[in-house]
Amino acid sequence: MNAKMPSHTNRIIVTVYEHRTAAALLLEHLNRIKRQYTDLVVVTFGTSHQPSKLEDVHAHFRHLDEEIKRIIDGYLMTIKGLEESHITEILQGWPGINESNPGQHRFWVMDYQRDAQHKTCEILPRTMEILINTSGGIDVWREAAEADIEKLLLALFDQLPLTTSKLVFHYEDGSVDFERIWRNAFDGGKRQPLLRFQLVYLAISTWLYRIKTDNRD
C-alpha cells in the first residue's frame, strides 16, 4: 500500500464528499431537532430497570424483555461483545429470573446480541461499498494509505455524527438517546469520542476484511 494517497484520489473523494454532504446535512439537522424538549431526560442504563425491581413483580414482569433490551443496548454501545460476566450483570436482580431458570434468559440475551450485531454488519458493507464506488472505486481505495482512509472516514463522520450513529447502531438507537449525546445535552460529550472510535473502527475493519480482499479479480 502506498504511503501517500495519489492526488487524483484526493480530488475524486473531495468532489464526492462535497456533493453528498449537502444532502446528508438536512437529515442530520432533522435528527438533531427531533428531541429538543426540556421535559425529556436521559435514562441511565445502569439504573433504568430499578423501578421494575422495586415495584410489584406481577405488574411489571410482562415488560421485562423491553427493559432488559435497554440494558443490553447500553452494553453493546460501549463494548464489542457480551462476555458471560456481562450477561450475569444484565440479568442480576430482575423479578422472575432466579436460579431455576437463568438458562433461557441467557439464550435470549445472546440471541438479541447476535441480531443487533448482524444488523450492524449488514448495514456497514452496503454503506461502505456505496462510499467506495462513488469516490473513485475499489482500485483507488487499494492505492490509498490506511491513514488517509481513516482521515476521510473521520471527516465524513464528524459532518454527520448523529445520522451515522443512528444508521449503524440500528438496534441501540431504540434505547440510546443519540440526539442528546450529539447535542452535548448531558455528560459533557463523554460518549462522543467513544462513538467516533467505534464507528471508524468498524468502517475500517469492514473495508479491510470484508471488501478489500473479496473484490480482487
User: DSSP for 122-176?
Assistant: HHHHHHHHHHHHTTT-HHHHHHS-HHHHHHHHHHHHHHSHHHHHHHHSTTGGGTS
Q: What is the pLDDT of residue 25?
A: 63
Is residue 217 a part of any domain in this protein?
no
Q: How far apart are alpha carbons 17 and 33 in whole angstroms?
A: 24
Is residue 55 a part of any domain in this protein?
yes
Q: What is the pLDDT of residue 77?
A: 81
Q: Is 35 exposed, middle or buried (0-12, 13-18, 19+ CB in 10 A)?
A: middle
Contacts of 63 (CB under 8 A, 6+ apart): 52
Q: Is the pTM of this model over 0.75?
A: no
Residues 134-158 pLDDT 10s? 888 999 999 998 889 998 999 888 8
Residues 173-202 pLDDT 10s? 888 888 888 887 666 678 888 888 989 999
Residues 11-46 pLDDT 10s? 555 555 565 555 556 665 665 555 544 444 444 444
Residue 53: domain span: 7-211
Is residue 216 a part of any domain in this protein?
no
Is pLDDT larger for residue 109 or for residue 27? Answer: 109
At residue 5, does pLDDT exceed 50? no
Is pLDDT larger for residue 168 or for residue 53? Answer: 168
Q: What is the pLDDT of residue 24?
A: 58
Question: Considering its fold, how many domains does the chain have in total?
Answer: 1
Q: What is the mean pLDDT of residues 102-129?
A: 87
Confidence of residue 55 (pLDDT cuts 50, 70, 90): very low
Is 112:72 a contact under the CB 8 Å cutoff?
yes
Is residue 173 a part of any domain in this protein?
yes
**Distance (Å) of CA 206 to CA 2, 52, 202:** 20, 39, 6
